[in-house]
Amino acid sequence: MDIVESYISVEQIKQGEEFDYQPTGCEDKEPYVLMVLGDSMEPEFNEGDVIVIEPGANYRDGSYIIAYHNDEYIFRQLRVINDNFYLTPLNPNYVSEQLNGPEAIKGVITQKKMPGNRRNRKNYV
């Protein structure tokens, strides 16, 4: 029995976790999974970790999110400072970027599955 009906293939285009979005046939509010590429979200998220994204989940300062920024999708931690939204990498070798607004937030990471044992996971919301 297949648990995942479809998935989005992720390619590393530049530094970080940028990827091309390919429609999967899922409804806009259905959760989906992506595999982390790159090191911009280390040490919490390592290359090869699988993240579960909930498009309809509520976000808050400190949430891990997928956002549409500069014509591409990106995985970062959301920081809200004085009503300004920032995409913040966890790895200090990368820089934070200001997000245009909350409408650019496309989903909240709710779970991480690490390689190895299928029970090796962590919840975030």
Can you give the residue range of the structural domain that contains 49? 32-123
Structure tokens at 63: 């949430």
Report the b/e string of 61-99 with b at 16+ CB within 10 A: eebbbbbebeeebbbbbbbeeeeebebbbeeeebeeeeb
Residue 4 lies in a domain: no
Number of domains present in the structure of the chain: 1
State the pLDDT at residue 114.
80
The CATH number linked to 65 is 2.10.109.10
Q: Quick one: pLDDT at residue 97?
A: 97
Query: Does 62 reside within a domain?
Result: yes
Q: From CA 65, how far away is CA 87, in angstroms rounded?
A: 9
Residue 14 resides in a domain: no
Structure tokens at 87: 């995409």
Task: Please report whether residue 22 resides in a domain.
Answer: no
Tell which residue, 35, 49, 52, has the closest CA to residue 108: 52
Is 87 inside a domain boundary? yes
Residue 11 lies in a domain: no
pTM for the full predicted model: 0.75
CB atoms within 10 A of CB 106: 16
Q: pLDDT below 50 — which residues of the chain?
A: 1-16, 18
Output the pLDDT for position 11: 40
Q: Is residue 3 part of a domain?
A: no
Q: Which two tokens stand for residue 83?
A: 């009503």
pLDDT for residue 70: 92
Residue 89 lies in a domain: yes
Nearest-angstrom CA–CA distance, 21 and 35:
13
